A and B are shown apart, each in its own frame.
Chain A
Amino acid sequence: MNTADYLTLLSALAPEVIVVLTALLVLAVDLLGLQDTPRSYRMSIAAGLTTLGCAGAVGWMFINPTVGNWHGGMLVIDPLNETVKAVILLLTVLTAMLSVDCKFTRHIGEYFALLLLATVGMMLLASTEELLMIFASLELVSLSLYILVAFDKSSRQSAEAAMKYFLFGGMSAAFLLFGFSLLYGLTGTTYVPRMAHKLFSLGPDPLATVALVMVVIGFGFKVAAVPFHLWAPDAYQGAPLPSAAFIASGSKVASFYVFAKVLLLGFSQLGWGDSNNAVSGWIPLLSVIAAISMVLGNLAAIRQTSVRRLLAYSAVAHAGYMLVGFLALGGDAFASMLFYVTTYALTTVGAFGVLGVVESQVGGDQLKDFAGLARRAPVLSACLMVFLLSLAGIPPLAGFFGKFYLFAAALTNDASSLPFLWLIVLGIAMSCVSLYYYLQVLKQVFVVEADANARPIAVPFLVHAVVVLLAAAVILLGCVPGWLLDTIHAAVTEQGW
C-alpha cells in the first residue's frame, strides 16, 4: 500500500476527472449558452460533448496505461479495470447517441450531466478494491440513475418507476452497508484482499456468513437477480428509453464486475463454506439465486406483452446466467463472465435502440406495435433479429459464444465431479424457453403483415448508425470472439486469478 501526492492521484484518476469536467461543461454550456436554441441543436451539442469527453477518457487510458494501487486499495488501476472502464464509457457514448432524438425532457444539460456522473460512479466502482469506496461510488451511480429514471416529468409511470427503484435501492444499500460494517468489525480492514486474508485466518465464523448474505442481497438488487428483481420490470418500462438502456447495460457491467470482485477476492475462502461448523459459503447460495433467476426470469418473460417488460425479465434471466460465471472460481470463469456481460450490454443497447424507434414512430412498446416491422424498416428489423437471437443464444452471434464459454468454464473448473452440471442443464433448458419468447417478438416483426396503410418508418440517422454498428459488433464478436476474449483473458491472467 502506498499513499500518493495529489498530482499522482490526479493523473491516475485522469479518466474520471475528464468525465467529471465534461459533465460540468455540458451543464454549463447548456444552461448558460443554449437555452434559446432549438432542442435538437442543444441535444446534439450535449451528446457531442459527452462523446468527446468519454472518448478523451478512453484515449487517456489508451495512451497512458497506468498500473497502481493507492491509499489501501481505494484506487486500483490495472489493465482489467481499464478494460471494464472502456466498456462502460463506450456504453455511455451509445446511450448518449440514442438520447439525441428523444423528446422526453427540456432539461438537456442536466440529463447529460447526470448520465456522465453515473458513468463516473461506475468507473470508480470498477477501479477500487475498498469497501467504503465501493459503497460511495455505488451510491453515486444509484442516485444518478434514480433521477435518470424519473426524468420524464410528464409521465406518471416514470415517477412511479423511479420511486420503486429508489425505495428498493435504498433498502438494498442499507443491507450492503450493514454487511460491510460487519466485515469491518470482523476483520478490522476495508481493503478487500486483506479482508479475505483475515477471514481465512479467523476460520469459519457465522457472522461472516451473515455479512456475506447481506452483501449478496445488496448486490443482488443491483444486478436484478431473483428475488431482488422486483424493481426491474417497472423501471425498464417507466424510465425514459435511454435511461432504461443505460440501467440495462452500463450499470449491469459495473455492478457485475464489482460484485464478482468482492466475492472472488474477499470471500475466496468461503466458497463452499464449512459443513462441520454449519457455515455455508456463497457458492451454494449463488447457485440457488442463479437457478431461480434463470427459471423465474425466463418463465415470466413468456407472459409479457410489453417488449420493455420482456427485456426486463430476460435481463433477470441473463443475470442468472452471469452468476453461473461466479461459481466456477478462477480466471477462466471470471473472463467468461466479463465477456458475457459485455456482449450482453452491447446487445441490449441495440435492442433498446430499435425499441426506441418503434415507440416513437408507432407509439408503443406492445408486441402488436412490432407487427410488420420487417416491411416498414427492413434494416432495423434485421438488426433486431440479430440482437434477439443473440440474447437467445443462437450461433454464430455473440450471445451464443458468451453462454458457451461461460458453461465451458463452469464445467472445466472441476471436471472430476462436475458440481455445476445441474445449473448448466437448467440454463440450457431455460434458454429453450427464452427462444420461445424472442421468437414471439420476431414473429410480429417478420411474419405478421403490417396494416395496409402502414408506411415505411423514418429512422433517425444516428439511431440507425448505432443500431447497425451494434448488430455488426454482435455478429463479429460471435464469429471472431478472440478479439475481445484475448484482451479480457490477458488482463485477467495478469491479475493472477
Chain B
Amino acid sequence: MLAWTIYLSFAGALACLLTPRANPRATRAMAFSTALAGLVCGLIGAVEFKPENGLEVITNVRWIPALGIDFSLAADGISVTLVLLTGIAAVAGVLFSWNIEHRTNEFFAFFFALIGGVYGVFLSLDLFLLFVFYEIAIVPKYFLIAIWGSTRRDYAAMKLALYSFIGSGMVLIGMLAAYAVSGLASFDLQTLAQHSFAPEFQRWAFPLVFVGFAILAGMWPFHTWAPTGHSAAPTAASMLLAGVVMKLGAYGCLRVAMTLFPEGLKMWQHELAALAVTGIVYGALVALVQKDFKFVIGYSSVSHMGFVLLGLVTLNEIGWSGAVLQMFSHGVIAGLLFGVVGRMVYDRAHTRELDALEGMGLARKMPFAAVTFVIAGFASMGMPGFSGFIAELQVLIGAWQAFPRLAIIAGVGIVIGVVYTLKTTAKVFFPDNAIAVESLDDHEHDHPLEPISVQERLGAALLILCTVLIGLHPRLLLDLIVPSFKSPLFDGLRKVAGL
C-alpha cells in the first residue's frame, strides 16, 4: 500500500499537467484528490504496518543486474512516519495553494513530481534508487520557485538547486566509493550496512555523505539556501521545503550515512554535534533580527532542524527517536507557519516587512490567521501539549547523555526561540500602536482584504490537529519509530553506540 504513494504522486503529476490550462478548477480537483489519495495510502499503510517486524520489504525487483541495482522498496517505522508527514504536507500544500491561477496545471505537476520523489526517498531500500528519487526532487524545486516565487526568486531557486546538487554530488562520491570498496557489487542498503568498512575509509566517507545529506537538512554553515529559498518560494513550496524536503536530508543522514559508516559517526560525533548546536543558536539569533516575516520562519527552520541533527549524532536511542519525532513535528509546524505567513498574510497584505505589517493591525482584520499563528508559535516554541515539546525534550535528554555542555547551549537556543516567536507574534498581530480599523484595508488594491477561505481553514486545522494529537499522545508515532532501531539495518550503529 505504501508504495502506491509514489506511483500515485507521479501519475497525479502527469494528470495535472494534462488538465486544460484554461480550467484551473479541474487541476485543483485533480491535485487535491492526488494528495488525498497519497495521504490515505500512507494512513492505510501505517495501520497495516507492524512495527515489531522492523523493516518490511514492499517490492524487490532486479533492475540493473550488471551493477547489482534492485528496485527495492521497504518501510520501517521511520519511513512510515515520514510518509505520513509527506501526505499531510501534500494535502495542506494543495489547500494552501488554492489561489494559484497562473499556469496552474504546471504548478501542480511540479508539485507532485517533487512529492513523488520525496515519497520515493523515504521508501527506498536500494541506495541507487534512493539517490535517484533524491535527485528527482531537485528540478521541480527549481521551477516551483523560479516560476511562482516572489522576492529574488531567480537567485533563490538557483541557489537551492545548486546546493542540493552539490550535496547529492557528495553523496554520490561516497556511495560510489562504498560500492567499490565493499566489493559486494550491490547497492542494497542492508547488505552494505552489514559490511564493516575500514575505519580509515569511514573517516572520510562518513563526513562526506553525512554533510552531503545535511546540506539539505539545513546544517550550519551550509544552511544559507534555506532562508532565501523558503522566502522566495510560493507558499506551498515553502511548506514542502521546510516541511519535507529538509527531512529528506536528515533522513539520508540517518538511513545512509549513519547505518553504512557507524564508526565514522563515532569519530565525528562531537564536531557534528557542535555544528548542530551552532545551527540551533545561530538560527535562533538570526531569526531574532530579521525584518522579513518569512525570513524569521526560515531561520527558525534552520534552528529547529539543528535539533534533528543533534538528536541523530547523540548515538543513543532516545536521541534518535527524538530526532525522527522532531522531523515530523517540525514538518507540521513549519508547514503551518509558512501557511499563515505566505498564504494568509502575504497574499493579502502584499508585504512581509514586519514594520509594515505592524501598522496593519492584522489581529483584528484576520483573527483566524492571528489565532493560527499564535497556536503555531506555541507549538514551535516547544510548549507542552504540542508535538515540538516532546520531540525537543527527547533530543535534549539524548544530548545530555552524550554531550552535556552542548545540551545546555541547545537549551539556550530554545529560550531564544521563545523570544523571537513572541516578539514576531506581538509585532505582526498585536502591535501597541495599531492604527484605526478604517485604514487597515489593502492599500495597493484599495479594497478590503479577502476573507480567509475554507481551504485555508481546512489546511490549518489539519496541521494543528496533527501537532496537538502528537503532542498529547506521542506514542502514536513513538511506537512506530522506536522499534525501527532494532532492525538489522541498525546493527552496526547499535554496536558502535554500545546498545
Interface residues of A (CB under 8 A from B): 389, 394-396, 400-401, 404-405, 407-408, 411-412, 415, 418, 421, 424-425, 428-429, 431-432, 435-436, 439, 443, 446-447, 481-482, 485-486, 489
Which residues does chain A contribute within 8 Å of B165, judged by CB atoms? 431-432, 435
Which residues does chain A contribute within 8 Å of B136, judged by CB atoms? 394-396
B449 part of interface (Cβ distance < 8 Å)? no
CB of B181 within 8 A of CB of A481, answer no
State how many angstroms separate the Cβ of B146 from the closest Cβ of chain A. 5
Which residues does chain B contribute within 8 Å of A432, judged by CB atoms? 162, 165-166, 169
Instruction: Given A400-B135, A439-B142, check contact A482 B162 (CB 8 Å).
Output: no
Q: Which of B64-72, B250-258, B361-369, B380-388 contacts A (4 or more CB under 8 A)?
A: B64-72
CB of B161 within 8 A of CB of A435, answer yes
Interface residues contributed by chain B, number (CB under 8 Å): 32
Which residues does chain B contribute within 8 Å of A443, judged by CB atoms? 146, 154
Complex-state Cα separation, A256 to B148, whole angstroms: 43
Which residues does chain A contribute within 8 Å of B11, judged by CB atoms? none
Which residues does chain B contribute within 8 Å of A412, judged by CB atoms? 179-180, 183
Instruction: For A481, give the chain B residue with the smallest CB separation.
Output: B64
Complex-state Cα separation, A396 to B64, whole angstroms: 13
CB of B147 within 8 A of CB of A447, answer yes
CB of B162 within 8 A of CB of A435, answer yes
Instruction: Identify 17 residue pairs between A and B in the complex whose beta-carbon atoms are under 8 Å apart, listed by A's number.
Output: A395-B131, A400-B132, A400-B135, A408-B180, A412-B183, A415-B181, A418-B177, A418-B181, A421-B173, A428-B173, A429-B169, A431-B165, A432-B166, A436-B158, A443-B146, A447-B143, A485-B66
Contact of B183 among A401, A405, A415, A428 (CB under 8 A): A415
Which residues does chain A contribute within 8 Å of B131, judged by CB atoms? 395
Which residues does chain B contribute within 8 Å of A405, judged by CB atoms? 67
B139 part of interface (Cβ distance < 8 Å)? yes
Which residues does chain A contribute within 8 Å of B176, judged by CB atoms? 404, 407-408, 411, 424
CB of B161 within 8 A of CB of A411, answer no
Which residues does chain B contribute within 8 Å of A411, judged by CB atoms? 176-177, 179-180
CB of A396 within 8 A of CB of B146, answer no
Complex-state Cα separation, A447 to B172, whole angstroms: 29
B138 part of interface (Cβ distance < 8 Å)? yes
Which residues does chain B contribute within 8 Å of A400, judged by CB atoms? 132, 135
Which residues does chain A contribute within 8 Å of B179, judged by CB atoms? 408, 411-412
Q: Which of B24-82 contact A (CB under 8 A)?
A: 63-67
Instruction: For B143, give the chain A residue with the smallest CB separation.
Output: A446
Instruction: Given A408-B180, A436-B158, check contact A425 B147 (CB 8 Å).
Output: no
Q: Which of B121-164 contact A (CB under 8 A)?
A: 128, 131-132, 135-136, 138-139, 142-143, 146-147, 154, 158, 161-162
Complex-state Cα separation, A407 to B178, whole angstroms: 12
Complex-state Cα separation, A439 to B230, whole angstroms: 20
State how many angstroms separate the Cβ of B462 from the closest Cβ of chain A. 31
Instruction: Given A432-B165, A435-B162, A435-B165, check contact A418 B180 (CB 8 Å).
Output: yes
Which residues does chain A contribute within 8 Å of B128, judged by CB atoms? 404
Give the interface centre of A418, A435, A489 by most chain B CB atoms within 10 Å.
A435
Instruction: For B67, give the chain A residue with the smallest CB separation.
Output: A408
State how many angstroms separate the Cβ of A181 from the closest Cβ of chain B. 40
Instruction: For B128, give the chain A residue with the smallest CB separation.
Output: A404
Instruction: For A428, give the chain B residue with the smallest CB separation.
Output: B169
CB of A482 within 8 A of CB of B138, answer no
State how many angstroms separate the Cβ of B85 from the closest Cβ of chain A. 24
Instruction: For B147, give the chain A residue with the smallest CB separation.
Output: A447
CB of B177 within 8 A of CB of A439, answer no
Which residues does chain A contribute within 8 Å of B158, judged by CB atoms? 436, 439
Beyond the given A429-B169, A481-B64, please list 16 additional residue pairs across the A-B interface where CB-CB is below 8 A.
A394-B135, A395-B132, A395-B135, A396-B132, A404-B128, A407-B172, A408-B176, A411-B177, A415-B180, A425-B173, A436-B158, A443-B154, A447-B143, A447-B146, A447-B147, A482-B65
Instruction: For B110, give the chain A residue with the smallest CB separation.
Output: A446
State how many angstroms separate the Cβ of B57 from the closest Cβ of chain A. 21
CB of A482 within 8 A of CB of B66, answer yes
CB of A428 within 8 A of CB of B177, answer no
Instruction: List the 3 shortest-distance A-B pairs measured between CB atoms, nearest first.
Output: A411-B180, A395-B132, A428-B169
Which residues does chain A contribute within 8 Å of B181, judged by CB atoms? 415, 418
Complex-state Cα separation, A207 to B199, whole angstroms: 45
Instruction: For B181, give the chain A residue with the smallest CB separation.
Output: A415
State how many angstroms separate the Cβ of A171 from the closest Cβ of chain B. 37
Complex-state Cα separation, A421 to B143, whole angstroms: 33
Which residues does chain A contribute within 8 Å of B183, judged by CB atoms? 412, 415
Which residues does chain A contribute within 8 Å of B143, judged by CB atoms? 446-447
Which residues does chain B contribute within 8 Å of A395, judged by CB atoms? 131-132, 135-136
Complex-state Cα separation, A16 to B454, whole angstroms: 71
Complex-state Cα separation, A432 to B143, whole angstroms: 17
State how many angstroms separate the Cβ of A196 from the closest Cβ of chain B. 27
Which residues does chain B contribute within 8 Å of A481, judged by CB atoms? 64
Instruction: For B187, give the chain A residue with the smallest CB separation.
Output: A408
Complex-state Cα separation, A489 to B63, whole angstroms: 16
Complex-state Cα separation, A481 to B62, whole angstroms: 12
Which residues does chain A contribute within 8 Å of B67, judged by CB atoms? 405, 408
Complex-state Cα separation, A405 to B172, whole angstroms: 12
State how many angstroms separate the Cβ of A113 from the closest Cβ of chain B. 40
Give the interface centre of A411, A431, A432, A443 by most chain B CB atoms within 10 Å.
A432
State how many angstroms separate the Cβ of A405 from the closest Cβ of chain B. 7
Which residues does chain B contribute within 8 Å of A486, judged by CB atoms? 66
Which residues does chain A contribute within 8 Å of B65, judged by CB atoms? 482
Complex-state Cα separation, A396 to B128, whole angstroms: 11
Complex-state Cα separation, A481 to B176, whole angstroms: 18
Complex-state Cα separation, A489 to B176, whole angstroms: 20
Complex-state Cα separation, A443 to B142, whole angstroms: 9
Which residues does chain B contribute within 8 Å of A447, judged by CB atoms? 143, 146-147, 154
Complex-state Cα separation, A408 to B136, whole angstroms: 20
Complex-state Cα separation, A432 to B173, whole angstroms: 13
Complex-state Cα separation, A390 to B196, whole angstroms: 35
Instruction: For A440, give the chain B residue with the smallest CB separation.
Output: B158
CB of A421 within 8 A of CB of B177, answer yes
State how many angstroms separate the Cβ of A448 from the closest Cβ of chain B. 10
Complex-state Cα separation, A428 to B147, whole angstroms: 27
Which residues does chain A contribute within 8 Å of B139, judged by CB atoms? 389, 394
Complex-state Cα separation, A97 to B191, whole angstroms: 48
Complex-state Cα separation, A389 to B67, whole angstroms: 23
State how many angstroms separate the Cβ of B168 from the closest Cβ of chain A. 9
Complex-state Cα separation, A443 to B162, whole angstroms: 14
Q: Which of B166-201 contact A (CB under 8 A)?
A: 166, 169-170, 172-173, 176-177, 179-181, 183
Instruction: For B208, give the chain A residue with the smallest CB separation.
Output: A425
State how many angstroms separate the Cβ of B465 from the closest Cβ of chain A. 36
Complex-state Cα separation, A415 to B181, whole angstroms: 5
State how many angstroms separate the Cβ of A250 from the closest Cβ of chain B. 26
Complex-state Cα separation, A486 to B67, whole angstroms: 11
Which residues does chain A contribute within 8 Å of B172, judged by CB atoms? 404, 407, 428
Instruction: For B170, give the chain A residue with the smallest CB separation.
Output: A428
Contact with A along B103-131 (1 / 0, CB 8 A): 00000000000000000000000001001
Complex-state Cα separation, A405 to B177, whole angstroms: 13
CB of A482 within 8 A of CB of B177, answer no
Complex-state Cα separation, A407 to B166, whole angstroms: 16
Give the interface centre of A389, A439, A489 by most chain B CB atoms within 10 Å.
A439
Complex-state Cα separation, A473 to B172, whole angstroms: 25
Complex-state Cα separation, A359 to B85, whole angstroms: 47
Complex-state Cα separation, A394 to B169, whole angstroms: 11
CB of A439 within 8 A of CB of B161, answer yes
Complex-state Cα separation, A407 to B143, whole angstroms: 29
Instruction: Given A394-B135, A436-B162, A447-B147, check contact A489 B66 (CB 8 Å).
Output: yes
Complex-state Cα separation, A482 to B176, whole angstroms: 19
State how many angstroms separate the Cβ of B113 from the closest Cβ of chain A. 12
State how many angstroms separate the Cβ of B457 from the closest Cβ of chain A. 32
Complex-state Cα separation, A354 to B384, whole angstroms: 58
Complex-state Cα separation, A443 to B156, whole angstroms: 13
State how many angstroms separate the Cβ of B19 from the closest Cβ of chain A. 13
Instruction: For B134, give the chain A residue with the smallest CB separation.
Output: A395
Complex-state Cα separation, A401 to B179, whole angstroms: 15
